[in-house]
Structure 1
């Protein structure tokens, strides 16, 4: 008697599984919005709770690590702000230094203008207009004269050449300006040469 190999039989399918397969074929897939908007089931909540309890010590470590990194970030930010402020101050100081050097090189021109004005050569005409424009332009750049009759003598900005009394001028005040001084901001480019009332 001949025996034929038995063909493998497929296991009988559960009627519930067959219905689920048919529904899966006919239902449309869920969108991301639908998944995110869906309410969490009690089973999922319980699983989250158990997971949180199991990772409690790890969560504490992560929180401490995050706090340390945040503190490092705050320190770096404070260092950057300090660096930026220091750089801005140094840049402003350098700019003032350069401007005062450039304007200081023009000071002898002012001496010539003052001499011409004292001689009456700059009362009118094109050169008088040019001199006025030059003084106005450099004044806008921060160049200002130091030393006026009647000012209190200040050794930081005035150079006393002689003592000379003058009517209406108090003691230790400027009685005559021999050569104008100039400053840019707080930096003295050239002190004024003055006579001081005794």
Structure 2
């Protein structure tokens, strides 16, 4: 069986005969338009491949830009979890100052310095407080816990900030807990 395959391949590989050579000039003399059409087809394919190449280069460039943007965004918000864990510490410092004994002025002074230092660090990494008395209630930035009379304030205005909220750059870490005018 292997011998049959070898014989078949030997037949396929025989050099062209004189008859085949005689036919070839006829094809080439009539084939001038064939050469033109082949040339046109090849040029069109070349244009198509060039277009595909340019698209691939543009796609790769866009991918690089998007990857860079995502990496920058990730780096910008990577500290978010740490900041969220530090917020209760800041809140407790503020509460300790609110309930400090009156005869411990040095203690109060020291705690105030700690709070100011902590707030500077938070600001340096992009954390800023949310919730100001008198601003309009925004459900994205505020969590309304109470409604109370707002002396001279319009309805749905922040009357009191119960617990400040914080944001890291543009991302809200915690909404401010507020009381809203009714």
Structure 2's unaligned 5+ residue stretches are 1-34
The answer as to 2:79 corresponding to 1:99 is yes
- How is 1:44-83 mapped onto 2 (pairs within 5 angstroms)? 57=36, 63-83=43-63
Cα shift at 1:197? 0.8
Deviation at 1:179, TM superposition (A): 0.8
- 163-172 or 181-190, larger mean C-alpha shift: 163-172
Query: Secondary structure in 2 aligned to 1:105?
Result: helix
Separation in structure 2 between the aligned mates of residue 152 and residue 117 of structure 1, nearest angstrom: 28
- The structure 2 residue matched to 1:143, chosen from 107, 122, 127, is 127
Q: Tell me, in whole angstroms, the C-alpha distance in 2 between the residues paired with 1:74 and 1:110.
A: 54
Which one is further off, 183-192 or 106-115? 183-192
What runs of 5+ residues in structure 1 fail to find an aligned partner?
1-55
2-structure distance, mates of 1:88, 1:165: 50
| Separation in 1, partners of 2:44, 2:172 | 56
SS in 2 for 1:106: helix
Kindly provide the CA deviation profile for residues 37-89 of structure 1, in whole angstroms up to 9, marking residues without a partner as x.
Answer: xxxxxxxxxxxxxxxxxxx8487566545433321221111111221232233
**Which structure features the higher share of helix residues?**
2
Which one has a bigger Cα radius of gyration?
Answer: 1
Match of 1:108 among 68, 88, 94: 88
Output the aligned Cα RMSD.
2.6
Cα distance in 2 for residues equivalent to 1:123 and 1:74 = 67
1:163 to 129, 135, 147: 147
- Displacement after TM superposition at 1:155 (Å): 1.2
Which TM-score applies when normalising by structure 2? Answer: 0.66
| Alpha-carbon shift at residue 147 of structure 1 (Å) | 0.7
Q: 2:67 aligns with which of 76, 84, 87?
A: 87
State the 1:149 CA deviation: 0.7
Equivalences for 1:151-190 in 2 at 5 Å? 151-190=135-174
Is 2:109 the counterpart of 1:124?
yes
The number of residues matched between the two structures is 143
